[in-house]
Amino acid sequence: MTAPQHPYTHPALTAADPELAALVGAEERLQAETLRLIPSENYVSAAVLEASGTVLQNKYSEGYPGRRYYEGQQNIDQVETLAVERAKAVFGVEHANVQPYSGSPANLAVHLAFAEPGDTVMGMALPMGGHLTHGWGVSATGKWFRGVQYGVRHDTGLIDFDEVRELALKERPKVIFCGGTALPRTIDFAAFGEIAREAGAVLVADIAHIAGLVAGGAHPSPVPHVDVISTTTHKTLRGPRGAMLMSREEHAKALDKAVFPGLQGGPHNQTTAAIAVALREASQPSFRDYAHAVVANAKALAEALLARGFDLVSGGTDNHLILMDLTPKQVPGKIAAKALDRAGLVVNYNTVPYDTRKPFDPSGIRIGTPSLTSRGLAPGHMTLVADWIDRGVAAAGKGDEQALAAVRAEVGDLLGAFPAPGLPV
């Protein structure tokens, strides 16, 4: 099937490169017509989209506002300053660097700022819900530094702070990361803060997933408890693909030097602009409502899934994310994810803690509510969503393509009434 030409946007692109324009159009339709449940994804606003597609793209500006290596920065300096000031206001921090290209380089910059190659860094193990860049072996952070890793308890699915403390005091890491990619529960920044102080480590809260919840007051802020905050800007924060590092003034210089010239060249000014727009949106009362609605939807969805006999890691959720262990359903995560995709429900397969299967063919799927909440779905819709997931997983087990097509049609019907931000209707 060839993708239909997009009706109204991208006239120049369509004229210059119809092949590429058709792909963009197809992606717009896909994002409009599917229920996007990947917890790290979202829909940015039309304003964020526009800002990220501007001529700011054309400008080189190595350095920081007022201290550049290139001339012609009269506008760019103001753009970056706006983004920085808005970040400081939204998160209540003394310092913000908005230049990291994405979350992974931001975390590498943290390593560069506070550790030497070979030094010990500590983070949550990837298969337990941590991130690659917290010292996991295949990542540069685990190859160039000595990563030691904590996990969650087998019985509760929760972090065991006695274990974290014991490991930190034994290994004396330079840097401790908290936060991750598959953590359905509130992160106890205060508990990590106590341990880091006792161990003499720099504590980094990686709030990539929950930044929007923190900004909107739907997750406690790490600010009083941690030294550095690392975050992406494109997950619950609903900005462009990018990242920020934030801290008290004390660590400002080390972080700035690590980002530039330590790791990067010129900042992506069009992204900086879009981050500024997203932060302005995140400072509005409506964003508080959004953040709380994300959590309310996730809790409602978790309840409805539990009622259908699904096994959820840690028994539920406090945030935007649900990690489902499909072992009792006897359907592997990958097979379920691929079937759900055919049913118009986009999820990702994921390891669960103590997974007995392989990372590329794990036992779980990971879902979340940031995108569907951006479309305006409410807790009342979540029984329907749980039902679709239930039917999709059952159909996956039986290879019942007809059942998947039926779910897909229902998904399309509902989403027709909930247009996605930033997409043509």
Ligand X SMILES: *Cc1c(COP(=O)(O)O)cnc(C)c1O
What are residue 308's phi and psi, to 5 degrees? -95, 15
Residue 139 CB, nearest approach to ligand X (Å):
10
CA diameter of the chain: 64
Contact criterion met (CB below 8 Å) for 100 and 264:
yes
Do 68 and 262 meet the contact criterion of CB atoms below 8 Å apart?
no
Of 120, 231, 232, 236, the active-site residue reads 232
Q: To which residue do tokens 């992160």 refer?
A: 187
Select 237 or 420, whichever has its Cβ closest to ligand X. 237
Closest Cα to residue 74, out of 269, 277, 245, 239? 269
Q: Which residues pair with 152 in a beta bridge?
A: 159
Burial class (CB in 10 A: 0-12, 13-18, 19+), 22: middle
* Annotated catalytic residue within 28, 80, 206, 318: 206
Q: Is 354 annotated as catalytic?
A: no
Of the residues 29, 68, 146, 241, which is catalytic? 241
Per CB under 6 A, residues contacting ligand X are 40, 102-104, 107, 131, 133, 179-181, 206, 208-209, 232
CB of 128 to ligand X, least distance (A): 12
Query: Measured from the CB atom, is 260 or 310 closer to ligand X?
Result: 260
Verify whether residue 232 is a known catalytic residue: yes
Catalytic residue among 36, 86, 185, 235: 235
CB 385 within 8 A of CB 372: yes
Strands 202-206 and 228-232: parallel
| Nearest to ligand X of 204, 420 (CB atom) | 204
Nearer CB in complex with ligand X: 109/276: 109
Residue nearest ligand X (C-beta atom): 103
Nearest-angstrom CA–CA distance, 159 and 152: 4
Integer Cα distance of 404 and 102 in angstroms = 35
Task: Output the smallest distance, CB 258 to ligand X, in A.
Answer: 16
Q: Is position 116 annotated as part of the catalytic site?
A: no
| Catalytic residue check, 241 | yes
> Does the annotation mark 253 as catalytic?
no
Q: Which is nearer to ligand X, 174 or 234 (CB)?
A: 234
Q: For this structure, is 206 an active site residue?
A: yes
Q: Which of 33, 41, 62, 188 is catalytic?
A: 62
Catalytic residue ranges: 60, 62, 206, 232, 235, 241
